[in-house]
Amino acid sequence: MEYKKVTIASEINAQNLPKHIAIIMDGNGRWAKKKGLPRIAGHWAGAEALRDIVRTCCDLNIQVLSVFAFSSENWKRPAQEVNAIMNLLLYYLKKEVDLLHENNVKINVLGAWEELPQRIVEQIKYSLKQTKNNTGLVLNIVLNYGGRQEILSACKKICADVLEGKISQDDISEEIFKNYLYTQNLPDPDLLIRPSGEIRISNFLLWQIAYTELWFTNIYWPEFKPENLMEAIRDFQKRERRFGGLKK
């Protein structure tokens, strides 16, 4: 089954789309509270919102979408909530993988996902294998991830390669360093979206967002609609990106 096409708002310039959009899917708990529902109902509604955003990114021919699903710090939450999020992830991967595959989406999982419960690791492996040759949207599901942890782990791998003589200390450049991160050869995010009214980065893709345009909204993630994505893209297109240089 192919995704139903969304109408692309004419105000969007198809020549100046962000190649990579990153989203911190925040506000699920507060959305649920507002509705008098348990927190996990917010996460389920968040997964529904994600489906529409993935579909919209496919329609817009966005190259990469990275979504923060579970941070290294989220383990601090009550075991019941952690368990429920894990079950939701498993359900989402099982239920969505065929549809994602039919729509040429390549699933990628960033973070220390091998440390997750075995049933999730198995499902991730299956999803990665099934979609590995797809050439459409790259969907980075960011799981058990922390930006600082990622940078430290890259440093450790580089040290090991230097000690083994695979590279020399003088070879270490930004380009080389990048290859040791989970994102490797993917472009850096052009646009980072954070809903829910919080104006912070929360340890997400710290290296990669050095020159990313940031966009915040008060809407809780379960209420985030394709129209909101379009609004973020329209704002992005009004920005002048100078990457530390001068106005052209």
| Interacting residues with ligand FPP (CB under 6 A) | 25-30, 43, 46-47, 50, 67, 69, 74, 85, 88-89, 92, 141, 196, 221
Is the CB of residue 145 less than 8 Å from the CB of residue 205? no
Per-state percent for the chain, helix, strand, coil, to nearest 5: 45, 15, 40
Mark out the alpha helices in 60-200 (DSSP H runs): 79-102, 118-131, 147-163, 174-178
Is the CB of residue 183 less than 8 Å from the CB of residue 140? yes
Least Å distance, CB 85 to ligand FPP, is 6
Least Å distance, CB 172 to ligand FPP, is 33
Torsion of CA 186, 82, 49, 96, to 10 degrees: 70
228 catalytic? Reply is no
74 catalytic? Reply is yes
Beta bridge partners of 67: 23, 141
Q: By C-beta, is 105 or 158 nearer to ligand FPP?
A: 105
Q: By C-beta, is 107 or 158 nearer to ligand FPP?
A: 107
Q: By C-beta, is 31 or 180 nearer to ligand FPP?
A: 31
Q: By C-beta, is 74 or 153 nearer to ligand FPP?
A: 74
Owner of token pair 């962000």: 18
Choosing from 26, 28, 140, 228, which is the catalytic residue? 26
Structure tokens at 16: 């100046």
Least Å distance, CB 131 to ligand FPP, is 14
Largest Cα–Cα distance in the chain?
Answer: 59
Least Å distance, CB 73 to ligand FPP, is 9
Choosing from 28, 52, 59, 74, which is the catalytic residue? 74
Closest residue to ligand FPP, judged by C-beta, is 29
DSSP 110: E
Q: What residues act catalytically?
A: 26, 74
